[in-house]
Every structure is written in structure tokens, then in C-alpha cells.
Amino acid sequence: MADKLKDKKIIFVVGGPGSGKGTQCEKVVAKYGYTHLSSGDLLRAEVASGSERGKQLQAIMQKGELVPLDTVLDMIKDAMIAKADTSKGYLIDGYPREVKQGEEFEKKIGAPSLLLYIDAKGETMVKRLMKRGETSGRADDNEETIKKRLDLYYKATEPVIAHYESRGIVRKIDSEPPVDEVFKHVAAAIDGLK
Ligand SMILES: Nc1ncnc2c1ncn2[C@@H]1O[C@H](COP(=O)(O)OP(=O)(O)O)[C@@H](O)[C@H]1O
Ligand SMILES: Nc1ncnc2c1ncn2[C@H]1C[C@H](O)[C@@H](COP(=O)(O)OP(=O)(O)O)O1
Ligand SMILES: [Mg+2]
């Protein structure tokens, strides 16, 4: 089955909570027709299903912690396979969140051609998440959980960027400007892919 994923373009989209990963991914889908898979969205869909596993995931996410690696990776892989016949390539949003996740992904699926590093200041991310929390209904968009998510991002996820830098596939995108401005740089990075 995983053979279906051979030779597909893979783009990792990495950045802090509220940095704008999901926003930029939607624009990439519209312009380039890539398949957008957000690990957070996949997990929230499992929670919404009301399954026993969903209840366990909800408790972890509400605390701002990472769910077990195998759970997320299996979900991403299944979703990739489900779209393989029609997909030009994949935007993997919110994964890897730690170096080990990247290593396991490469063992089971394949190597990324590009890592988009969506970068915003801590205070910007907090402001955006507090605003998003007014309407998102997300159990983790509250002050206490946001702080934990940010701490975990700096501790566990930032090292992911350094890990891929030596391969020359990291493109750092300043996500402070307005959305369309940020997207120009995202598009330039994708246009640079062979
Ligand atoms: N460049 C930007 N300027 C202003 N607001 C932004 C920008 N990018 C995203 N946002 C807003 O910030 C919030 C978080 O964006 P989102 O794409 O959900 O981030 P992430 O997926 O990285 O958590 C959203 O409410 C979004 O509308
Ligand atoms: N790759 C991953 N590994 C472990 N847990 C993950 C994960 N991706 C998402 N989660 C869990 C923990 C996160 O705090 C929560 C929300 O993730 P998200 O929707 O990607 O957040 P955001 O888009 O705000 O960065 O889901
Ligand atoms: Mg998101």
C-alpha cells in the first residue's frame, strides 16, 4: 500500500501554534492543488467521532501535550494513501513536532523535498490564538494551554528545523506581515521545487 506514496512530493509545514500554518496551507491548496493534511485536524476529527480513542486524545490535547507518535503517524499515512490516486503532493501541517516524528515518517513514508518554516514572534502567536479562541471552539485555544503549547514548541519542535537545515530544504518564512504578503514568499518557495 505504501508503494502508492513513492515519488510523491512531500512538504513539511512547521511553525509554532498560531503562526499561520493552516492559513498558508489553504492558500497553497487553492493555487497548487496540493493535498493539505493537518495532524491537528485529523486528531480533532477523531475526537469529534466520539470514539474511545478520541476521548483519550481530547484529554491530551486539552493539556497542550503531544499525542503518541504512532497514533498521529498512522492517521497521516492512512489519509495520504486515501488521496494517493489524485494527489500531486502533500502538505504535512503540524508534523513533525519533534525530531523523532520526522525520522519515523521518513522510515514509513518518505523524505520531504521542502520544509516551510512559518515563523512568528511568541507574542504574535499568543495574540492570534487568543483571537482565534473567540470563535474556534478549540479546547486548547485558552491562555493556560497556549502557554504550554508555546513552551513545548520551543523545546521539542524548533530542533526539528535545525535537523533538516543541513539538508538544505528549509525555507524560513516571516509570518508577521499580512496573509497575502506571507503567501508570496510561500509561493516562491514552492515554485523553487523541481
Ligand atoms: N499573516 C497573518 N496575519 C494576521 N493574522 C494571521 C496571519 N496568519 C494567520 N493569522 C491568523 O492567526 C490565527 C492562527 O492561524 P492558523 O493558520 O490557524 O495557525 P496555525 O495553524 O499555525 O495554528 C488565525 O486566526 C489566522 O486567521
Ligand atoms: N504531530 C503531532 N504529534 C503529536 N501531537 C500532535 C501532533 N499534531 C497535533 N497534535 C496534537 C497536540 C496539539 O497541541 C494539538 C493541536 O495541534 P494543531 O491543530 O496542529 O495546532 P496549531 O495548528 O495551533 O499549531 O493536537
Ligand atoms: Mg493549524
Q: 147: which 3 cell numbers?
A: 502557554
User: Hey, where are the domains in the chain?
Assistant: 2-192
Digits of tens for pLDDT over the chain (194 positions)? 568 888 899 999 999 999 999 999 999 999 999 999 999 999 999 999 999 999 999 999 999 999 999 999 999 999 999 999 999 899 999 999 999 999 999 999 999 999 999 999 999 999 999 999 999 999 999 999 999 999 999 999 999 999 999 999 999 999 999 999 999 999 999 999 97
| CA 128 to centroid of ligand 2, rounded, Å | 16
Q: Which architecture, in CATH terms, is 2-192?
A: 3-Layer(aba) Sandwich (3.40)
Q: Does residue 159 have a cis bond before it (omega within 30 degrees)?
A: no
Q: In this structure, are residues 100 and 73 in contact, taking their beta carbons and an 8 Å threshold?
A: no
For 80, the 3-state DSSP assignment is: helix
Among candidate residues 125, 112, 115, 129, the one with its CA nearest the CA of residue 175: 125
Testing ligand 2's pocket by substitution, the residue of 23, 77, 97 carrying the most ligand atoms inside 8 A of its CB is 97
Q: What is the pTM of this model?
A: 0.96
